[in-house]
Amino acid sequence: MASEFERIARLQTLFGPPPRTVSLGIGDDAAILDLSAVEASHLVWTIDACVQGVHFAPSLLSWEDVGWRSLMAAASDLAAMAASPLGALCAIAAPATLADDDLYAIARGQAAAAAAISTAIVGGNLSRASEVSLSTTLIGACVKPATRAGARVGDLVVLDGDVGLAAAGLRLLRGGEAAGNAVQAWRRPVARIAQGLRLGAIACAMTDVSDGLAQDAGHIAKASGVRIELDADAIVGAELRAIAAEDSLALALGGGEDYALVAAVDRAIEGMRVIGRCVQGEGVWCGGERVDGAGFDHFKT
Amino acid sequence: MASEFERIARLQTLFGPPPRTVSLGIGDDAAILDLSAVEASHLVWTIDACVQGVHFAPSLLSWEDVGWRSLMAAASDLAAMAASPLGALCAIAAPATLADDDLYAIARGQAAAAAAISTAIVGGNLSRASEVSLSTTLIGACVKPATRAGARVGDLVVLDGDVGLAAAGLRLLRGGEAAGNAVQAWRRPVARIAQGLRLGAIACAMTDVSDGLAQDAGHIAKASGVRIELDADAIVGAELRAIAAEDSLALALGGGEDYALVAAVDRAIEGMRVIGRCVQGEGVWCGGERVDGAGFDHFKT
């Protein structure tokens, strides 16, 4: 097995050179961001964790997939704020028994995901642990941050991307299927950076769907002080309906990890998928029932 | 046990309001940094992990200590770059069996450490895991970053803070002692932010001592293309000599986690503790022997 420093040297090669705004990447005490090269009034900053046995089972994914998903899950928070990434740091914790090739496969997945959203991994940390655990932090540049607060009574609720498809894909994968759009949606989600910038420019409030539409729309409802009424027909996409006829609505409301964006806008623009509206009250409702509070809770007993 | 959202609400209270430069803290998809309030040409950015069973054993520390140490270990990387912190994000992973009070004790330790270096925790992530694992990322503002490269032949090597004292303290703690400066050095290290700003203003190269002086000075030697010769008498402090007479030099060279700063300067200023010099060659030498390469390696078998 390679030493910690040999591993860092190899990761440095896999992660490639830093982007223009990062004047110093991997190999010192910290990465350096050159503010004179950053054209933005605000930076947004997030951290997300991806833990073996909690967020993924290695039996359902390649190590490349694990690396890819961990990066995209974190990057989706930037999309949700209408920011474009300036770089990522990745803290990789792994058992001493994880083979060098598996570690490098994780890193290849992270690097490919970063490249897919036009950024790069510019630093990180390597540590032992009893399970694989990836903590990813990203900084994004932002002109007009889109928060969860700001939706008003009368606003329309719009969806960018699919909901429920990744959850359906995970079910297919567990049943032994390994191909198709739904499986790909779960295995290789893509943070909707460009869409977040476009939608954020006109959104009154926005968030990404990581824990399920009902719960995540609930964050907008709570932060904005409105009730969100969702249209059941509008949130179930044609593809989801085709592969999960029996419970497509439940998957669309409760399935997370598609990393779609949900936003409140005061008027819909052509091509927008309107899925509901903001009214007086609280919570998220669909078909006359309150549906928020049913998402994934890390500490529910 | 509290739900994930109840826990986040409680953490938000414990972590307090964000600093002036952070226009949005805990509770949205990401924290927002207002660049118009940042007076610096550069930002430095780091991530560090603190894993149960690897970095700490709960039997030797309180959960407050664990939180404190995790924050300070990460913040020390900012001190090493001559930066002052703008904020921290903490990803806390913990077993479902960790009691609410223990989680909040970790958070109190993190918050106290952040306050001690005039910053605050402005966001994070909560996740389940099979062991407690804390990943901390900090951003710092910086006018003149101090990297590991830049030391030249003829420079003096100076030390700010103690080395070996924390390692001696850990040994005392394992032997049943629970008081004294050495124990405190290991339990409650302090990132040397103010010292890093002062020293960084005149340093040609700088780093912090987290893995041991020999190994960390080795990073400067390697990045700068010089050999560092250390003076054995100068690196062993009086306190370390008194409590570890037999192996004080080994502890001073190899003991990590004091978070002292080591720098190369072209001239010493009054009050500086000169511990060696930069000469032609490579590696770190002390008493005629090469001593780098003996520090802690996470993946050494």
Instruction: Give per-residue pLDDT as tens, B269-286.
Output: 888 999 999 999 999 999
**DSSP 3-state assignment of B38?**
coil
Q: Cβ–Cβ of A2/B299 closer than 8 Å? A: yes
The interaxial angle of helices A100-116 and A63-81, nearest 10 deg, is 30
Residues of chain A numbered 133-172 and touching chain B (CB < 8 Å)? 133, 135, 137, 139-140, 142, 145, 147-149
Confidence of residue B212 (pLDDT cuts 50, 70, 90): very high
Q: Cβ–Cβ of B128/A29 closer than 8 Å? A: no
Q: How far is B243 from chain A (nearest CA, A)?
A: 31
Is B262's pLDDT higher than 60? Answer: yes
Q: How far apart are the first and last CA of chain A?
A: 39
In order of A111, A138, B270, the CA distances from A67 in angstroms are 8, 15, 50
Average pLDDT over residues A18-47: 90
Provide the 8-state DSSP code for B86. Answer: E
Provide the 8-state DSSP code for B28. Answer: S
Confidence of residue A269 (pLDDT cuts 50, 70, 90): confident
Q: Quick one: pLDDT at residue A264?
A: 98
Is A279's pLDDT higher than 50? Answer: yes
- Chain A interface, best mutation among B135, B192, B220, B292, by max A CB count within 10 A: B135
Do residues A297 and B126 make contact, with C-beta atoms less than 8 angstroms apart? no
Average pLDDT over residues B43-59: 91
For the residues of B153-211, what is the DSSP string, one character each? TT-EEEEES-SSHHHHHHHHHHTT---SHHHHHHHS----HHHHHHHHTT-SEEEEESS
For the residues of A77-141, what is the DSSP string, one character each? HHHHHT-EEEEEEEEEEE-TTS-HHHHHHHHHHHHHHHHHTT--EEEEEEEE-SS-EEEEEEEEE
Q: What is the per-residue pLDDT across B108-156, written as a single tens digit (0 to 9) for each? A: 999 999 999 999 999 999 999 999 999 999 999 999 999 999 999 999 9
Provide the 8-state DSSP code for B118. Answer: T
Confidence of residue B301 (pLDDT cuts 50, 70, 90): very low
Q: Are strands A22-24 and A31-34 parallel, antiparallel or unpaired?
A: antiparallel
Strand segments (E) across chain B? 22-24, 31-34, 42-51, 84-94, 121-128, 133-142, 156-160, 205-209, 227-230, 260-265, 273-279, 284-286, 289-290
Q: Cβ–Cβ of A45/B33 closer than 8 Å? A: yes
Is B75's pLDDT higher than 50? Answer: yes
Average pLDDT over residues A74-90: 97
Do residues B187 and B169 make contact, with C-beta atoms less than 8 angstroms apart? yes
**CB within 8 Å of B6: residues ≥ 6 apart:** none
CB atoms within 10 A of CB B51: 23
Do residues B298 and A128 make contact, with C-beta atoms less than 8 angstroms apart? yes
Residue type (1 letter), A6: E
Residues of chain B numbered 66-125 and touching chain A (CB < 8 Å)? 77-78, 80-81, 83, 87, 89-91, 93, 96, 122-125
**DSSP 3-state assignment of B22?**
strand
Is A263's pLDDT higher than 60? Answer: yes
Q: What is the per-residue pLDDT across B215-243, written as a single tens digit (0 to 9) for each? A: 999 999 999 999 999 999 999 999 999 99
Q: Quick one: pLDDT at residue A300?
A: 52
d(CA A41, CA A87): 17
d(CA B195, CA B215): 21
Q: Quick one: pLDDT at residue B59?
A: 85
Provide the 8-state DSSP code for B18. Answer: P
Phi and psi angles of residue A205, each rounded to the nearest 5 degrees, phi first = -160, 150
Tokens read off for A242: 């085709």
| Mean confidence (pLDDT) of chain A | 92
Q: How far is A183 from chain B (nearest CA, A)?
A: 24
Q: How far is B4 from chain A (nearest CA, A)?
A: 5
Q: Quick one: pLDDT at residue B205?
A: 97
Provide the 8-state DSSP code for B294. Answer: -
Average pLDDT over residues B95-103: 94
Q: How many CA atoms lie within 13 A of B240 on its CB side?
A: 26
Average pLDDT over residues A9-19: 90
Average pLDDT over residues A224-250: 94
In order of A1, A165, A229, A289, the CA distances from A232 in angstroms are 53, 15, 9, 11
Tokens read off for A252: 């669309």
Q: Cβ–Cβ of B32/A44 closer than 8 Å? A: yes
Is A114's pLDDT higher than 90? Answer: yes
Q: Cβ–Cβ of B30/A45 closer than 8 Å? A: yes
Q: Cβ–Cβ of A41/B47 closer than 8 Å? A: no
Q: What is the per-residue pLDDT across A117-163, written as a single tens digit (0 to 9) for each? A: 999 999 999 999 999 999 999 999 999 999 999 999 999 999 999 99
Is A274's pLDDT higher than 50? Answer: yes
Q: How far is B71 from chain A (nearest CA, A)?
A: 14
d(CA B86, CA A248): 45
Q: What is the per-residue pLDDT across A159-180, written as a single tens digit (0 to 9) for each? A: 999 999 999 999 999 988 878 8
Q: What is the per-residue pLDDT across A179-213, written as a single tens digit (0 to 9) for each? A: 889 999 999 999 999 999 999 999 999 999 999 99
For the residues of chain A, what is the DSSP string, one character each? ---HHHHHHHHHHHH-SPPTTEEE-TTSSSEEEEGGG---SEEEEEEEEEEBTTTB-GGGS-HHHHHHHHHHHHHHHHHHHT-EEEEEEEEEEE-TTS-HHHHHHHHHHHHHHHHHTT--EEEEEEEE-SS-EEEEEEEEEESS---S----TT-EEEEES-SSHHHHHHHHHHTT---SHHHHHHHS----HHHHHHHHHHEEEEEEESS-HHHHHHHHHHHHT-EEEE-HHHHS-HHHHHH-TTTHHHHHHH---S-EEEEEESSPPTT-EEEEEEESSSSEEETTEE-TT-S--TT--
Which residue in chain B has the smallest CA separation from A41? B35
Q: Quick one: pLDDT at residue A301?
A: 41
Nearest to A299 among B4, B87, B139 (CB): B4
d(CA A40, CA A287): 42
Q: Are strands B227-230 and B284-286 parallel, antiparallel or unpaired?
A: parallel
Is A298's pLDDT higher than 60? Answer: no
Burial of A290 (0-12, 13-18, 19+ CB in 10 A): middle
- Chain B interface, best mutation among A28, A39, A46, by max B CB count within 10 A: A28
CA angle B60, B47, A21 (to 5 degrees): 170
d(CA B196, CA B176): 34
What's the predicted TM-score (pTM) here?
0.94
